[in-house]
Amino acid sequence: MNLSKLASEIAESPTFALNEEARLLKERGEAVINLGIGEPKNKTPIAAVLASGAKLTSGEVKYTPPDGLPSMKKAVIRYTEENYNRLAAPENVIITNGAKQSLFNIFYSILNPQDEVIVIAPYWVSYPEMIRMCMGVPVIVTPEDGTFTPRIEEIERAVTSSTRAIIVNSPNNPSGAIYPAGLIESIVSLCEKKGIFMICDDIYHKLTFDGNVAAPAYSFTKNDIENSNIIVVNGVAKLYGMTGFRIGWVVAPRGLIRVMTNVLAQTTSCVSPVAQAAAEGALNGLQSVVESLRLQIENNRNVLVQEMKSFKGARLIEPRGTFYALPDLRAFNGKSEEVSRFLLKKAMVVTVPGKEFGMEGHIRISFAGSAADVTEGLARIRWALDPTSPNEIYIGDKKMIREWM
């Protein structure tokens, strides 16, 4: 069978692969705790349920404009004005099948073969693969000081004549880091000076803790949306816990939106009107649901930080946003993939290897679920790795004895 070399070289999603393995273990009756998936456990906001139900009841579930329903775009325009202090025209907005499709379509629309995109490590696993799928070259910038926040000098050194964009994800998946406002300002200035795009993956922008704020890039430019190098990506998956609805959007200059609309029209045609109605309902409904989810996740973060304090050998830079932590487990002398496999086999806990995010020796832990899962999951991880922890533990109704230390 002859298959595309380009497609064959695309890596399998590690999060989906591990989640599938965990699902199969659960089906066998194993007491698996999934700390790998980035999916809040809240119910869909009632405003979204009612809006999508009304669309279904109408029976008018047909094709929509490729760039999105006018009413959905209107909701995004209002969201942009309220959260970014920028006025967007309908031509500056496209609705997509999730923020992931937004990102892929952006790369497809701006990259020529061998064009470069600067990706800051740690990074979301799909960035490099998407760039390669669009025949671009991901250029990874890893902070030299061992933190999760680069210096602007490190980013500047990576810029070449082939650089087309810098992608910025703050709050950051997988580390929970929030980039300082000064760094965001410097990246905006660099992109304007060099004439390159700044792609802002803002999918977690309101999920911040301890009063911290993720500074929006628009705060540091005098340009309006139409004349800006800034591209903003967002969606309802994380802030509203609506991962299954697959609704994202992009706010950008209309020339880029026009090309992205053509790409979407020739691939998926349009976005489901039922899902758009749900997203519109969420954006126009009571926003207290976002704060309620944020508070729940912040409580889970606090539980995680407290539990990690008794974990000998692990080093944690405290997450300031998202629902992820990226502890450093290099003291345990294992590759991150080996550690994640070991934890799944011995402790029945799903984590994601840090290598997939550009951070070997770390693992990503999601605290998007319940506080009980975070507590129990970390107790099992400590039992499996930390020799100072108790030698026995119950996993489900089975008493387990540690035999490898």
Residue pLDDT, tens place only, 277-287:
999 999 999 99
CB 97 within 8 A of CB 305: no
Whose CA is closest to 235, among 366, 95, 60? 95
**pTM of the predicted model as reported, rounded to 2 decimal places:** 0.95
Output the pLDDT for position 5: 84
List average pLDDT for each run of 10 residues in the chain, which is 405 residues long. Answer: 84 75 84 91 96 96 98 98 97 98 98 98 97 97 96 98 98 98 98 98 98 98 97 98 97 98 97 98 97 98 96 96 97 90 94 96 96 96 95 92 89
**How many angstroms separate the CA atoms of 27 and 174, rounded?**
28
Q: CA Rg, the chain, in Å? A: 21
The two three-digit tokens of residue 305, written as one number:
């930080």
Whose CA is closest to 356, among 27, 107, 86, 14? 14
Read off the DSSP letter of residue 227: G
The two three-digit tokens of residue 385, written as one number:
């790795």
CATH code of the domain occupying 5-43+288-401: 3.90.1150.10
Where in the chain are the domains? 5-43+288-401, 46-284
Domain 46-284 has CATH 3.40.640.10: yes
What is the widest separation between alpha-carbon atoms in the chain? 63
Residue pLDDT, tens place only, 153-189:
999 999 999 999 999 999 999 999 999 999 999 999 9
Residue pLDDT, tens place only, 199-231:
999 999 999 999 999 999 999 999 999 999 999
C-alpha dihedral, 128 to 76 to 238 to 11, nearest 10°? -20
Task: Establish whether domains 5-43+288-401 and 46-284 are of one fold.
Answer: no
**How many angstroms separate the CA atoms of 277 and 1, rounded?**
42
Length of the chain: 405
